[in-house]
Chain A
Amino acid sequence: MSVTSASAPAVELSQLRFAYRTGREVLSIDHLVIARGETVFLHGPSGSGKTTLLGLLAGVLQASSGNIRVLGQDFSTMSIGARDAFRARHLGYVFQMFNLIPYLSVRDNILLPVRLDAGRRARLKGVSLNVAAQQVASQLDIAALLDAPIGELSVGQQQRVAAARALIGSPEVVIADEPTSALDTDRREQFLQLLFASCASAGATLLFVSHDHTLMPLFSRVVSLGDINRAAAC
């Protein structure tokens, strides 16, 4: 199920159409390829379909027509369960905020993906769970917080925990949906530096959605969804 081609691009869209209700297309992208290892800044006005695109890339939504290939896997041929499993194994996801399960410690939050999916766990290559959590936490500078309850973390710390959780088990693709919008300017750059470094060491492709154009220069590539989405409302 998770047989992926090492040579395939991280993401490849062709003739993608998506509508929540028939006749009302919200997404229509003819072609988009994101190569492995790229850090992509995806921006666009509200209503341009950013969240919908992320849902499609994560395999939660199913395209009305066209193809979505992530790591060479064609989502349109996969069942919902298979896409869930694919996501568990190959994707990391960071939300804008409230990323963490409130009743779990930082450590347990970070370890959730590897505990949930044996395939993801196998990617730790024999490193014990605690060591893996320790490693990814120190990359993101939160090693001291591993046993802290979630309620005691600042928003910036919470986002770093979320990033650590997205990165554990070295997924090929990390999707971040406006993860810095709740942070103040100083912390945004700091967070991004940590995220870039971690993605680089994991060899992950980063797809970063944001409104904040000041961050644009930090990325290897910028994609404007308003430009490529022909169904965009505005």
Chain B
Amino acid sequence: MLVVRLALKSLRSRLLTTMLTILSIALSVTLLVGIEHVRAGVRESFAGTIRGVDLIVGARGGTLQVLLSSVFGIGSPAGSVKLSTMKRWAAHPAVKWVAPYSLGDSHRGFRVVGTTPTFFERYRFRNNGEITFASGRVAQSDTEVVVGSDVAEQLKYTVGAPVVVTHGLQDIGTSNHEAHPFVVVGVLARTFTPIDRSVYVTLEGIEAMHDGEEFAPAVAAAPPTMSGVTPPAMPGAAPPVMPGAAPPVMPGAEPPPVAALVPAPAVNEPEHDHGDDQISSFFVGTKNRFEALMLQREMNTDLVEPLTAVIPGVALGELWQNIGSAEVGLRVVAIFAVAIGLTGMLVSLYSSLEARRREMAIFRAIGAGPRTIISLLVLESSLLAFLGCVLGVAMVYGGLALAQGPIEQRFGLHLAIRPLGSTEYLYLAVVLGAGTLIGFVPAWKAYRTSLVDGLSPRA
């Protein structure tokens, strides 16, 4: 077809301009489709933080508080839950399993979580990812600890490494539970969830940790190198406290590490204790997922202890509603980028038309009608838009293929290479449609101009 050949030749004759126009459209498309991929990736990563758990149960408080403190390790729980309460609910006919989650201690800035092997067995993330061990095994005795992949990497822990746990979140060296040294028995494989940044011990481990603090004689068993730093035992000096109160370290009240030898600090921390039958929250798996809702209601109205039971998927959705407004921002930026790309295309088409007035006059003189001239220019612009879309999509997938690994390593964001979704197709259609429509502007003007100018290209 003549017009197609003409359009191709015309575009090829202005190769640099053509390439730059295609590139600018491609970059906009890359941004638009790329942002859509990132958005979906973030949402999936987020929604996939916790799976396999039907209910998270914490002390009476906000839904998000329970979710954030137990799943994301953000903030502190509203209070604590009695271990006996968990055991009571474990016996409920609808409950298949329970796993305790006891927060409050930290190890060099990473949270220490007391739990049971059930947690590792039942917890799932992303599409059914199970927690697996890169090396070692589950913590079984009260001196054993399992570390997440980030913890192992940053602190260079391997199976067999000794670990000292700090009480309170900040690692300022005080009140180290050095009376009760732990040893790493397992390193978890990377999950790209907050699990990677956690240290897991047994419930007994947490208890023993504090027993050691409270009963100095137990320290005798500790290695000689450690015993020197061990704070003197102050039995009874540590009344019960909610584990949730742990993160804020009493500022100023705490003397430097050397002073740990002095008995005073322990007295200054009257609230420093984990009641040994208290946990932060517990995870529940139901026998039948449809019973989760009913179970949630029952738990929320528990008469013995005020509880908040949260369905993770629902709470995550709620949370996403709140923080998801950022994705609208992303989208707006992307739309602006496309607008700029299309404007650039219009400018380049339009300015090339100015140089092509003679060309249009020649076509008119030869007898080309408006249809020929319009189809020539519209074909050119839609071809540019099409090639821009193709290149842009290719760049997205090429970029994903190259950057997927590094992004996952760096940001823990798994960007799946998946086919284009309907939103992306809509974007592409808009770009293509706008590209085609834009072609009509110079085409219409060209036809009008060459009419007004007569056949003379001089005007």
Contact = CB atoms under 8 A, between A and B. Distances in A.
**Is the pairing of A and B real?**
yes
Contact of B2 (A80, A84, A102, A115): A115
B68 interface: no
A61 B369 contact: no
A100 B362 contact: yes
B14 to A, nearest CB: 8
Interface stretch (B98-106, B131-139, B437-445, B451-459): B451-459
A141 B70 CA distance: 90
A154 to B, nearest CB: 18
Contact of B369 (A85, A98, A102, A103): A85
Contact of A88 (B6, B359, B366): B366
Interface in B12-44: 12-14
A204 B435 CA distance: 44
B351 interface: no
B267 interface: no
A78 B108 CA distance: 90
Given A81-B369, A102-B13, A51 B2 contact: no
A95 B456 contact: yes
A101 B359 contact: yes
A55 B365 contact: no
A58 B369 contact: no
B51 interface: no
A15 B362 CA distance: 29
A211 to B, nearest CB: 14
A116 B454 contact: no
Contact of A54 (B2, B366, B451, B454): B454
Given A88-B368, A116-B372, A101 B454 contact: no
Chain A CB within 10 Å, residue with most, of B364, B450, B454, B457: B454
A93 interface: yes
A85 B369 CA distance: 7
A54 B365 CA distance: 11
B367 A103 contact: no
A60 B456 CA distance: 10
A103 B13 contact: yes
B359 to A, nearest CB: 6
A198 to B, nearest CB: 17
A51 B370 CA distance: 21
A116 B2 contact: yes
Interface in B323-369: 358-359, 361-369
B9 interface: yes
A81 B368 CA distance: 9
Contacts of B450: 60
Nearest to B452: A20
B455 A54 contact: yes
B409 interface: no
Interface of B (DSSP majority class) = helix
A232 B2 CA distance: 42
Interface string B200-215: 0000000000000000
Nearest to B3: A116
Nearest to B373: A84
Contacts of B12: 103
Nearest to B8: A103
A211 B368 CA distance: 29
B10 interface: yes
B446 to A, nearest CB: 14
Classify chain B: how many residues form its interface, as a range.
20 to 34
B457 A98 contact: yes
Contacts of B454: 51-52, 54-55, 58, 60-61
B450 to A, nearest CB: 8
A177 B459 CA distance: 14
Nearest to A113: B366
Contact of A101 (B362, B451, B458): B362
Given A55-B456, A60-B454, A91 B367 contact: yes
A96 interface: yes
A51 B455 CA distance: 8
B359 A102 contact: yes
A233 interface: no
A116 B368 CA distance: 7
Contacts of B9: 103-104, 108
A89 interface: yes
Contacts of B367: 84-89, 91, 113, 116-117, 120
A86 B365 CA distance: 11
A113 B370 CA distance: 15
Interface string A67-89: 00000000000001100111111
A202 interface: no
B455 A99 contact: no
Nearest to A81: B369
Contacts of B13: 102-103
Interface of A: 51-52, 54-55, 58, 60-61, 80-81, 84-89, 91, 93, 95-96, 98-104, 108, 112-113, 115-117, 120, 165, 177
Given A54-B456, A95-B362, A116-B2, 17 more contacts: A51-B454, A51-B456, A54-B455, A85-B367, A91-B367, A93-B366, A95-B365, A96-B458, A99-B362, A101-B359, A101-B362, A102-B13, A103-B9, A103-B14, A108-B9, A112-B366, A116-B367
21 contacts: A52-B454, A55-B456, A60-B454, A61-B454, A80-B369, A84-B367, A84-B369, A86-B367, A87-B367, A89-B367, A93-B366, A95-B455, A95-B457, A98-B358, A101-B6, A103-B13, A115-B2, A116-B366, A116-B367, A165-B366, A177-B456
